[in-house]
Structure 1
Amino acid sequence: MSAAEVRPASLSDAAEIARIQRLTWRAAYTDLLGAEAIDALDAADLEGTWAETIEFPGTRVYLAVEGEFTVGYCVAGPAPIDEIATADGTAPPDAATTALIATLVVEPRWGRRGHAGRLLGTATADLRSDGLDRGVTWVAQSDHPTLGFYRRAGWAPDGTVRTLDTGRGMLREVRLTGTLQLELTH
């Protein structure tokens, strides 16, 4: 196995992140969104969105790299109130110290090589250095591998769910939460 590492993304990485997103969404979401919707993901639009994300204040974008290949990415930062609010819409008492792992994706052919753990570990270490101590993320209820990954990191569902209309059906997501002091296990 080539050397694997995690590094911060730069603007020059936006096209590669968009490529990984399209490829991964095709593998994971075609049944839910439809091939037409996946095919409609315009490379230029996605690249622009990723460039904006990389430059957005307070947001951290990380890349997992193995050898010369970019194999995954993670977006993290302070959690917006609407992502962590209680059922009645109020902010939790620890809102100021809560982070959001907005997305964590590893290209399918590079899975099971520790890239997701390295991405999450790097993100949480940086978030802790920013004074944050709890994290949240949203995962499709049917995405058992990702749910298992976060459970192995010590995160668990907090009882909050949301339903997203995909245009072809409804996607139910569960909110997971846990400490930024990770407990990654095998």
Structure 2
Amino acid sequence: MADAGVRPARRADAAAVADIQVRAWRQGYRDLLPAAALEQVTSDDARAAWRERWTEAVAAPPSPRHRLLVAVANDLVVGFAAHGPAEDPGDDPAVTAELLTLLVDPLHTRAGHGSRLLAATVDLLREDGTETLVTWAFEGDRVLRGFLGTAGWAPDGTARDLDMGEPVRQIRLHTDITTGITTGDAGS
């Protein structure tokens, strides 16, 4: 087993995070998103913009409760997770947080990195007094939904359509993090 763990992201990790994001989206979303939209958010220009955004997320997060974590294996960044206070109407950001993204490099899946990222996220949020964690997932994203489902997440009945040249449906998932272990092992 490789030397693996999770730590807070550093500025120097931004390029690796952007690269993982692009690779994971290209592989995981190729059948979920319109081709033109996927190309737009994974192009070289987009990769550069993501790198800047992730650098900013580390250097000057919007709040102390916004965090970017990276999974590492043998000193190589292999995945990441970002979270912050929930911003959807009706959510109390004092006790509800949002998992903004959790992605593992397609070359490093099924090695527990996603589970470690989710566990570290939950641990930090519990320390902050968070009770409920929510996230948005593409309705057809069986990998993410299955992974989170094994960790006790379920749809909460909220949905939205993103305009990506054609409507793409997302559903909101939620979980109570006040008790029990909220990590999964499928697809991670």
TM-score under structure 1 normalisation? 0.87
Q: Secondary structure at the match of 1:96?
A: coil
**Residue aligning to 1:88:** none
Q: RMSD of aligned C-alpha atoms?
A: 1.7
Q: Secondary structure at the match of 1:42?
A: helix
**Residue aligning to 2:52:** 48
Question: Is the CA contact (8 Å cut-off) linking 1:97 and 1:132 kept in structure 2?
Answer: yes
Alpha carbons of structure 1 residues 157 and 49: separation in structure 2 relative to 1, 3 Å: same
**Residue aligning to 1:21:** 21
Question: Is the CA contact (8 Å cut-off) linking 1:76 and 1:102 kept in structure 2?
Answer: yes
**Residue aligning to 2:119:** 121
Corresponding pairs, count:
176
- The one-letter amino acid paired with 1:122 is A
Counterpart pick for 2:167 among 162, 167, 170: 170
Question: Is the CA contact (8 Å cut-off) linking 1:73 and 1:105 kept in structure 2?
Answer: yes
- The one-letter amino acid paired with 1:62 is L
- The one-letter amino acid paired with 1:174 is I
Q: Which residues of 2 match residues 39-118 of structure 1 at below 5 A?
A: 39-54=43-58, 55-56=60-61, 57=63, 58-80=65-87, 82=88, 85=89, 91-92=90-91, 94-118=92-116
- The one-letter amino acid paired with 1:116 is G
Cα deviation 1:114-144 (Å, max 9, x = unaligned): 1111001001100110111110001111011
Greater displacement, 26-35 / 101-110? 26-35
> CA separation in 1, counterparts of 2:169 and 2:99?
18
Gaps of 5+ in 2: none
- Write out the 4+ residue segments of structure 1 that deviate beyond 3 Å after TM superposition: 40-43, 183-186
* C-alpha deviation, 1:95, in angstroms: 4.3
- The one-letter amino acid paired with 2:79 is G
* C-alpha deviation, 1:96, in angstroms: 2.2
TM-score under structure 2 normalisation? 0.86
Alpha carbons of structure 1 residues 69 and 166: separation in structure 2 relative to 1, 3 Å: same
Greater displacement, 109-118 / 44-53? 44-53
- The one-letter amino acid paired with 1:34 is A
Cα deviation 1:132-175 (Å, max 9, x = unaligned): 111000111101111011111111000101110112x2211110
Question: Is the CA contact (8 Å cut-off) linking 1:22 and 1:41 kept in structure 2?
Answer: no
**Residue aligning to 2:183:** 184
Q: Secondary structure at the match of 2:130?
A: coil
* C-alpha deviation, 1:10, in angstroms: 1.2
Cα deviation 1:84-119 (Å, max 9, x = unaligned): x3xxxxx24x54200100000001121111111100
> CA separation in 1, counterparts of 2:145 and 2:128?
26
